[in-house]
């Protein structure tokens, strides 16, 4: 939860890592049309209907949970998780949310073993709402800062390239063969690819963002057309909300200028909380014209020994014993043991970066 300080001069609040990420996306336009942290009406409408109270598709509440002793009309100075001053918010409302109801409808579970549910339970019910006024944005490591495009900057980059049909790809993992296959398939029917990995807070066990960035950089340098690919970074934190987060990710990429968005197997999933293609099926429940971005659905892909390449059940006629599948758990076990995953699963350059990173962790 955000930490508060009251002085005679002003109220101040140090945001958590996730709240800091939310502030940045509110400030830079990534969360448009939101201009601040939600109040009770928007919270309730989003949780119950996936729409903002005044209209417009929105699937995950963006609230500021805190026990700060404040009231309507107070001005609260906001700082990043590292203490950097960011700006302020004039409190328009103080309200109590029902975190169990939010967990049930947004995350489809009340189980606090789910990392997204655990996060909102840890934040608590009490929230303050209001528009923000940004003086600065959070700092990022150099590896991310040079790739940190605002929505306005990414739209400008696409326009300068003459792109009209832009497909965005969301990832919190290194790009393996399956990801490469589907991004290149999407690139075949678009003007350009916007690779837009999340660099905000993720769950324990996920590959660190700085390691993932090294993987993205070398893949783009060696295996993607430079004039048809833009690598940016999304400062958002992961919620692991599965289907709801697929809609959420699509909205954010729309704001960054993408016209299409890749939705693959178990998008933004965790554990066994969601069905394999629930994140695709949820798009049937929204008006795509209102959403403003078109999803591109892909099946689970694999390396087929008989096809001698990547394929899916839509394209491959061969039996399962010809297919190479590796779970994330199995790959992490191999990396931790210093073993190189098969060529059919990942590029050797990516495997080398990951093995070295695992070795550094164990030193």
Give the residue numbers annotated as catalytic, written as ranges: 172-173
In the chain, the N- to C-terminal Cα span, in Å, equals: 33
Structure tokens at 106: 């947004």
Euclidean distance between CA atoms 300 and 277, whole angstroms: 9
Strands 126-134 and 323-324: unpaired
Contact (CB, 8 A) for 127 and 95: yes
In order of 116, 251, 325, 336, 341, the CA distances from 333 in angstroms are 25, 35, 15, 5, 10
- Phi and psi, residue 249, nearest 5°: -65, -35
- CA 15 to CA 79: how far, in whole Å? 6
CA angle 56, 58, 61 (to 5 degrees): 135
> How many Å is the maximal CA-CA distance in the chain?
73
């Amino acid at each position: 939860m955000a930490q508060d300080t009251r002085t005679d001069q002003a109220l101040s609040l140090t945001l958590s890592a996730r709240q800091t990420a939310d502030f940045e996306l509110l400030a830079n336009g990534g969360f448009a049309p939101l201009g601040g942290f939600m109040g009770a009406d928007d919270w309730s409408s989003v949780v119950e209907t996936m729409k903002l109270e005044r209209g417009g598709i929105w699937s995950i509440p963006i609230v500021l949970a805190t026990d700060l002793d404040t009231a309507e009309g107070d001005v609260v100075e906001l700082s990043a998780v590292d203490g950097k001053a960011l700006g302020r918010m004039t409190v328009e409302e103080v309200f109590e949310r029902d975190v169990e109801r939010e967990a049930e409808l947004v995350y489809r579970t009340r189980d606090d073993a789910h990392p997204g549910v655990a996060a909102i339970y840890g934040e608590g019910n009490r929230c303050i709402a209001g528009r923000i006024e940004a003086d600065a944005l959070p700092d990022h490591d150099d590896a991310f800062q040079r790739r940190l495009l605002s929505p306005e900057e990414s739209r400008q980059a696409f326009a300068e390239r003459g792109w009209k049909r832009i497909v965005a790809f969301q990832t919190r993992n290194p790009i393996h063969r399956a990801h490469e296959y589907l991004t290149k398939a999407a690139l075949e029917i678009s003007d350009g690819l916007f690779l837009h990995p999340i660099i905000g807070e993720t769950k324990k066990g996920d590959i660190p963002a700085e390691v993932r960035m090294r993987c993205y950089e070398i893949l783009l340098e060696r295996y993607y057309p430079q004039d048809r690919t833009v690598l940016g970074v999304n400062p958002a934190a992961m919620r692991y909300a599965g289907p709801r987060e697929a809609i959420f990710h699509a909205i954010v990429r729309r704001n960054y200028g993408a016209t299409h968005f890749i939705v693959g197997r178990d998008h933004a999933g965790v554990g066994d909380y969601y069905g394999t293609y629930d994140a695709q099926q949820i798009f049937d429940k929204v008006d795509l014209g209102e959403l403003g971005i078109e999803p591109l659905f892909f099946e689970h892909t694999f390396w087929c020994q008989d096809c001698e390449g990547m394929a899916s059940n839509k394209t491959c006629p061969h039996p399962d014993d010809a297919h190479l599948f590796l779970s994330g758990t199995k790959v992490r076990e191999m990396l931790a043991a210093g073993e190189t995953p098969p060529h059919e699963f990942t590029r050797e350059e990516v495997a080398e970066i990951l093995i070295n990173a695992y070795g550094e962790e164990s030193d």
